[in-house]
Amino acid sequence: MLQKVSDGSVDVVDELTGERDPTFEPQRIGVGYVLLVGVEDSDGARQIAWLAHKISNLRVFEDDNGKMNRSIHDVNGSILSISQFTLYADARKGNRPSFVKAGAPDHADRIWRQFNEALRAEGLVVKEGRFGAHMRVNLTNDGPVTIIFDTDELGI
């Protein structure tokens, strides 16, 4: 899930104290995208390549005429990438969501890191949250613009 932002930040919560985890340097961006990234077990190199290219070239920033015609490169934007398995929540039955469709942690962590590297290879500055951690994500959605990418629907 991509959100176009005017600013975004993340820090990590220490599970024992409930305070900010001092072992994680809070990450902050200005104009760009906050990406909430869910991974499933079938995700791999093809999905990573497609998404990195699409996100890098997506034109959702306004030009001088107010039209969404500029990419993240055109506005010198950055990315804040947050791994979020809860995107795979299935809440159809009962009141407690199931997360069985979310990728196994080792696989999801590896794919998320490879995805971030693919974005960097596209020439983007990418800051990250911490995989598997309790994070506090702040953002100012600009537009608002929120776009959901589902590679299952692409047949890749």
Q: Output the pTM of the full model.
A: 0.94
Domains of the chain with CATH codes: 2-154 (3.50.80.10)
Cα 130 to Cα 29, 84, 113: the distances in Å are 16, 10, 10
Low-confidence ranges of the chain (pLDDT < 70): 155-156
* Longest pairwise C-alpha distance within the chain: 51
pLDDT, one tens digit per residue, over 48-76 is 999 999 999 999 999 999 999 999 999 99
Q: Which residues are catalytic?
A: 84-86
State the pLDDT at residue 155. Answer: 66
